[in-house]
Structure 1
Amino acid sequence: MTETLETRFASEMGRLLGPDFPSEIGLAVSGGGDSMAMLALAHGWARVFGIRLWVVTIDHGLRADSASEAEMVARECALLGHSHAILRWHWSGQGNVMDAARRARLRLIDGWRGRLVHVAMAHTRDDLAETFLMRLARGAGVDGLAAMKSARRIVPEAGGTAEPRQAGWPPEVPAPGSAFTLIRPCLGMGREELRHYNRTLKVPWVDDPTNADPDYERARIRAALPAVAEAGIDVAALADAANRLGRAREALKRRASEAAERISSAPTSQGVPTGELHFDRDSFAALDRETQARLLVGALRWVAGGDYKPRAAPLEALLDRLLSGGGGTLAGCEAGCDRSALWVAREPAAVKGLSAAAGALWDGRWRLSGSAAEGLEVRALGEEGWQQVPEKPADVPPHRRARALPALWDGDRLVASVHLGVGPGHDVEILPRRGANRFADFLLSD
């Protein structure tokens, strides 16, 4: 006997949230067919299990009808008896609009969610298939082709600030930097069966016209899927392949993390981490190529804070140079080797001119504060700071790498550099990457 969508939804929510269900969760609902079906399914499920729903719609402002679509969601939520908020975002016009919208969506949801620790989105099996083909066309490897996770831990950007609370929003602001879990209970469901559910229950929804606009890559892939299915490769087969690659990705990540536990270290100067990563050179060389590449990618992102992995060709070229005793720069980092270690450090040129007020976040990771720091500026040590400290401690990084370390300045005068042991009276904090204090944990965090 075929299970109903309601039964499948309840089963998936139990798997994602159980065994101790929260008393309330959030739903991100755009107004499209998938998310409106999720809202209807969640409404029935929440009534059975006594769970409160909070709903949010992000109006990206990219189409003339987006505001009215958000209001349609608000009316449906009012009819169902659920609190609803509309958060608006305006694109700056810089960079890739889809990537900027995705980042903004997560940031706005985090600012809205308050005490909620679970927020659901309505990605479907069709989304898995389309993403698989899009990334296949770009030559992606295992990580790119692997399915999105049904549950993903989201760590807010370091140094972010909470949105001002508004009436009708979930109460209570979480502790700064606290994570939440993004869940996708509809990943095993097809887009058409969700729309059939909407039509049967007379659930309103809107079709985003960009979904059929050939100017968008996903729309082109979506239009090509019927022809692919005729060749015997349907949405279910593509989604299954993505899910299997997802399992492979997790195994490879764990292997890299275990290697990092054995062979990586985070050096310090004057007892304070320098932000660099070192690998035992011989142990690194003995690893398989895939694990070497994962450790290098992870180190570049750990040190520089990049959200995305560098492209395969320059990464492989840098890895070849390191294994042959050379080095180079990539993704805001400098990498090299000495007799016993491979190292990855912040590239001084990447932080030249970057400044922040004392107490604010500098370079996405460093915070310098204290009574002696008030009214001062945080900048890289640079050549000027290096020259102002005649006697350097023995454990400081070499000159070319030390120039990227954080320091306190009063105009052109170096006030303090904890790594060089000058200027007491201030505190230096190095923030974790993606909520992970250890590199080995960071490799598992994506």
Structure 2
Amino acid sequence: MSGDPARAVAGFFDPPPAGPLGVAVSGGSDSLALLHLLHDWASGSGLALHAVTVDHGLRADSAAEAACVGEIAGRLGVPHTVLHWTGWDGAGNLSDRARRARYDLMAEWARGAGVAGIALGHTADDQAETLLMRLARGSGVAGLAAMSPGRSHAGVTFLRPLLTVRRAELRRYLDARDQKWIEDPTNEDMRFDRPKARRALRELEPLGLTVEALNMVAGNMAALRKTLGHYAEAEARAHVQFEAGDVLIPCAAFGAMPGETARLILQAALHWVSGEEYPPRRGGIQRLVEAIARGEGMPLSGCLIAIRDDTIRISREPAAVAETVAAPGTLWDGRWRLTGPFRPGDRIAATGEAGLRACTEWRGTGLPRRTLLAAPAVWRDGALRAAPLAGFGAGFSAELCRSAEDYHATFRTH
């Protein structure tokens, strides 16, 4: 655990990134401290720094707080951008929806601005709180490893240089600079899990369950996750195959794998096929393992798992892509790129039942019906023009933009 925030930042960014660096700033103490720390560090390294704030529009003061961050960044000479989220419709988990939107907006901004990565102000306190929340959910090794120092999302790397620094140390740093910060009232709102975990931490400290101890546990779990991932990747390279965007695993090889290895291989397959940011919880994976042991399939995480000819086949679930539409030249379902003689008015959508009925020769492809139902097709005015994987539509082709190496890499990055 580092007691010197400046040293933690300098050590984290040694060597420095290859291009401009973004920093996410909400106006709270952690992110404001990170802004100042990175400004001082970047001034010595010559690296360009850009600040970004996401205004979720959920509180009356949010716009004023974003403007306040802009003023602070301006005094430091750091360019500042405010991104706005307007997608909250009152349905679902607010914290989860807002977090996902925040990362999506920042990733889109970073790609457009040519920013190589975005630094986040997560601290050792956040790490301990995350571990407690994961314990409450019954997480496995990967979940208990909590937050990693870096992760990729939508082609952008998000970095956490302050995971070894306590929040109190950052506030002392800001006090020394006479820099005030914004107190977010939701940090004390017990309707949300993180404030509950923060309160529980204070009560658990007399038992020795301190922030430092919980961070040590998270570090141990991260090391174990890396070891398990190494062996799971070796098994995957030996046995897992790919066809038309599906993952295929021989039943005999799967049955001979240790339980945790089998779970990791399934988890990686679900992630590779669906593109979901987070894997299903451990309970869902365990139910899938049990179903496979009985020789049964099931839907999970936007995928269909079926067993046929002594092979486990993990495909995209047709219902998960039924409303997914993309324009020609763009990725469909985050993984397919179609090329061919497009015309004005064409759109890319799932083949579906109606499309497959028009593909009279689809059986000749040798692909399962469920795979083709969720495959990309070209439509115009309700009529099918092409379904490349189903052998329909001259001149069109479908390229899968996820490789076998992308699958194997998940054992090292998740």
State the shift of 1:208 in Å. Answer: 0.9
SS for the counterpart of 1:362 is: coil
1:264 equivalenced with 2:217 (yes/no): no
In structure 2, what is the equivalent of residue 342 of structure 1?
312
Q: Percent of pairs identical after alignment?
A: 38
SS for the counterpart of 2:143 is: helix
Further displaced range: 20-29 or 40-49: 20-29
Quick one: structure 1 residues 110 and 285, their matched pair in 2 at CA, closer, same or farther if it must change by over 3 Å? same
State the shift of 1:356 in Å. Answer: 4.5
In structure 2, what is the equivalent of residue 81 of structure 1?
77
In structure 2, what is the equivalent of residue 99 of structure 1?
96
C-alpha separation in 2, matches of 1:88 and 1:352:
28
Residue of 209, 232, 236 corresponding to 2:212:
236
Further displaced range: 336-345 or 286-295: 336-345
RMSD: 2.5
TM-score (norm 1): 0.84
Equivalent pair of 1:125/1:235 in contact (CA under 8 Å): yes
State the shift of 1:357 in Å. Answer: 4.8
Equivalent pair of 2:149/2:163 in contact (CA under 8 Å): yes
In structure 1, what is the equivalent of residue 247 of structure 2?
277
In structure 2, what is the equivalent of residue 57 of structure 1?
53
5 Å-filtered alignment, 1:317-336, equals 317-336=287-306
1:417 equivalenced with 2:387 (yes/no): yes
C-alpha separation in 1, matches of 2:322 and 2:151:
35
Further displaced range: 351-360 or 417-426: 351-360
State the shift of 1:286 in Å. Answer: 0.9
5 Å-filtered alignment, 1:16-415, equals 18=15, 21-22=17-18, 24-93=20-89, 94-113=91-110, 114-154=113-153, 156=154, 179-267=155-243, 274-352=244-322, 354-372=324-342, 374-392=344-362, 394-410=364-380, 413-415=383-385
Paired residue total: 410
C-alpha separation in 2, matches of 1:29 and 1:377:
38
SS for the counterpart of 1:329 is: strand
Equivalent pair of 1:214/1:220 in contact (CA under 8 Å): yes
C-alpha separation in 2, matches of 1:123 and 1:230:
24
Give structure 1 stretches of 5+ with no counterpart. Answer: 157-178, 268-273
Equivalent pair of 2:29/2:182 in contact (CA under 8 Å): yes
SS for the counterpart of 1:408 is: strand
Give structure 2 stretches of 5+ with no counterpart. Answer: none
State the shift of 1:318 in Å. Answer: 2.3
Quick one: structure 1 residues 404 and 42, their matched pair in 2 at CA, closer, same or farther if it must change by over 3 Å? closer
C-alpha separation in 1, matches of 2:332 and 2:239:
29
C-alpha separation in 2, matches of 1:3 and 1:314:
40
State the shift of 1:9 in Å. Answer: 2.9
Which string of whole-angstrom CA distances, capped at 9 and with x for unpartnered residues, describes residues 40-97 of structure 1? 2222222333333221122222222222222222222222222222222224223322
C-alpha separation in 1, matches of 2:151 and 2:281:
24
Which string of whole-angstrom CA distances, capped at 9 and with x for unpartnered residues, describes residues 108-159 of structure 1? 22233312212211110000011111111121111111131112233x2xxx
C-alpha separation in 1, matches of 2:3 and 2:251:
55
- Aligned AA for 1:104? A
- Aligned AA for 1:297? Q
Quick one: structure 1 residues 339 and 64, their matched pair in 2 at CA, closer, same or farther if it must change by over 3 Å? same
- Aligned AA for 1:257? E
Further displaced range: 199-208 or 377-386: 377-386
Quick one: structure 1 residues 153 and 389, their matched pair in 2 at CA, closer, same or farther if it must change by over 3 Å? closer
State the shift of 1:400 in Å. Answer: 4.3
SS for the counterpart of 2:26 is: coil
State the shift of 1:280 in Å. Answer: 2.0
State the shift of 1:411 in Å. Answer: 5.0
C-alpha separation in 1, matches of 2:318 and 2:372:
8
SS for the counterpart of 2:104 is: helix
SS for the counterpart of 1:255 is: helix
C-alpha separation in 2, matches of 1:186 and 1:27:
12
C-alpha separation in 2, matches of 1:23 and 1:356:
31
Quick one: structure 1 residues 306 and 181, their matched pair in 2 at CA, closer, same or farther if it must change by over 3 Å? closer
C-alpha separation in 2, matches of 1:91 and 1:136:
30
TM-score (norm 2): 0.90
SS for the counterpart of 1:295 is: helix
Quick one: structure 1 residues 180 and 95, their matched pair in 2 at CA, closer, same or farther if it must change by over 3 Å? same
- Aligned AA for 1:440? H
Higher helix share: 2
1:10 equivalenced with 2:10 (yes/no): yes
State the shift of 1:224 in Å. Answer: 2.2
SS for the counterpart of 1:206 is: coil
- Aligned AA for 2:350? A
